[in-house]
Amino acid sequence: MLFPTLNFLIFFVIVFAISWSLIGRMAWRKYFLTAASYVFYAYWDWRFCGLLFLSTVINHLAARVIATTDRASTKKRAVAIAVVLDLVILGFFKYYGFFLESLDDVLHQVGWQRDLPFLEVILPVGISFFTFQGISYVIDVYREKIEARRDLADVMLYISFFPQLVAGPIVRASDFIPQLDRRPDPSRVLVGLGMLLILWGLFKKQILASYIAIDLADKAFFDPARYGAVDLLIGVWGYAVQIYCDFSAYSDIAIGVAALLGYTFPRNFDQPYRAVSLSDFWRRWHISLSSWLRDYLYIPLGGNRKGRARTYVNLTITMLLGGLWHGAAWKFLIWGALHGGGLAVERALGGADRVVGWTRSHLLSVFLVFNFVCLAWIFFRARTMSEALTYIAGFANWSAPVELATPLNLALIVAGLLIHFAPRDTLGRAEGLFSRSPLIVRAVFCGLFIAVIDAFGLDDAAPFIYFQF
């Protein structure tokens, strides 16, 4: 069930009405939202509801063990078992095929071929997201940031809550679960924020991301050998805007939908392409994943506290695993390695501030970082490594005619980049203006805005890019 569809609108209106009518009975509201979330997930593929439930039970049981024992070794063992089981499930569905294919290649090269047990494994949508949320719950209980819940339904709702279930943001247990203890006040709802984020997300997804995808990025990446340097450059800049608008749109709509139901999620994107360094970029891009990797991987590995060399290694390991989180393919590893290597080099050169100082220009730093990120996006987007290399080789071809620089493509790219340079309080100002308007004005504005997007948008909504992860 995609957000920008009539099916989701009907689903949401029903959930909104029933959940607020149950506000006097919090336990029932929780059970209802959990059931609705499972229905939402079953709409993709009902067979994986069992997997979602299994993941939840594993983490719930581990948290209960941690909460009920005084022995440090037992707590440690419980957290380790839960994390390993979570990763085994994730690994089987996501990496089994990749691992066997890679092993088959290696065996083939050394002349020791074997019949390996290949399986047709279907990737459950959202598995990377709900696995990381489950791990976050167990570790947060272990670190005593939150108390383990007695009621399995609390953990079920936290892990399956439908706005963020299939493509994030990866909400921390310590951010969400305490909200289940508070009764949302029906007279104090973040209606303005929720509505504006939903409208803004629809605009970014349906107009910017969709048209850039079909009219520009898909063409450039489908057959890069056909195009010259100008088209390929516009193609990768377009893809940078597309993936930002697509993914941040999902996050915005998820945050907006949750707000209308009385729950808050943190920001997941913060104008990433205005970053002046790679470390700055990772503080702005997919913040819920980058901060998850920092807190549950980079810092436990030792972070920057074990000497220079170890810091570089930790950065590279973290980003390589961040790349692998996106998918089981060498291209994602290269994408992670580029970012990890870039972060290590940036640190070796004396940190982001020093690098910005060398470029002597804030804008130049932004430009350089943006283009480095675009270089990495080529590996991320291309279907294979050889396609990515063909794409890069195409930058040497300046004689080919320009085909993709249509006025609309250029306008969409410029619009997608200008978003990044809007004042940081733009959302707050817009929300203030919206919320102070008479109710009927707000209602008509929302209706007309959606109708216009509907008119401009494609007939069939394309899935969000991050559904595949």
Partner 1 sequence: MPRPKHSRRRVSEDAYARHKSELDLTHGMHLSSVRAASVILAVGIVIIALFNAQGLAKWAQSLPQNPVADWTVLASFQWQGWMQALGTAEIFDAVREAFYALRRLPSL
Minimum CB distance to partner 1, residue 250 (Å): 15
Marked catalytic residue, from 326, 339, 362, 420: 326
Minimum CB distance to partner 1, residue 92 (Å): 29
Minimum CB distance to partner 1, residue 428 (Å): 6
Q: Is 427 exposed, middle or buried (0-12, 13-18, 19+ CB in 10 A)?
A: middle
The token pair that represents 72 in the structure block = 């440090």
Minimum CB distance to partner 1, residue 407 (Å): 5
* Alpha carbons within 13 A on the beta-carbon side of 192: 15
Residue 203 or 211 with smaller CB distance to partner 1: 211
Catalogue the long-range contacts made by 383-390 (C-beta closer than 8 Å, 24 or more residues apart).
Answer: 383/221, 384/331, 385/330, 385/331, 385/334, 387/221, 387/224, 388/331, 388/334, 390/224, 390/225
60 assigned to active site: no
The token pair that represents 45 in the structure block = 């593929």
Rounded CA separation 381/388 (Å): 8
Site of interaction with partner 1 (CB under 8 A): 6-7, 9, 13, 16-17, 20, 143, 145, 175, 186-195, 197, 211, 215, 255, 259-260, 264-267, 270, 283, 287, 291, 294-295, 299-300, 302-303, 305, 402-408, 410, 427-428, 431-432, 435-436, 439-440, 442-444, 446-448, 450-452, 454-456, 459
Residue 119 or 444 with smaller CB distance to partner 1: 444
Rounded CA separation 158/34 (Å): 9
348: Cβ contacts below 8 Å, ≥ 6 apart? 308, 312
Minimum CB distance to partner 1, residue 322 (Å): 17
9: Cβ contacts below 8 Å, ≥ 6 apart? none
Contact 395, 233 (CB under 8 A): yes
Residue 321 or 405 with smaller CB distance to partner 1: 405
Residue 194 or 327 with smaller CB distance to partner 1: 194
Residue 29 or 94 with smaller CB distance to partner 1: 29
Report, as residue numbers or ranges, the catalytic residues.
326
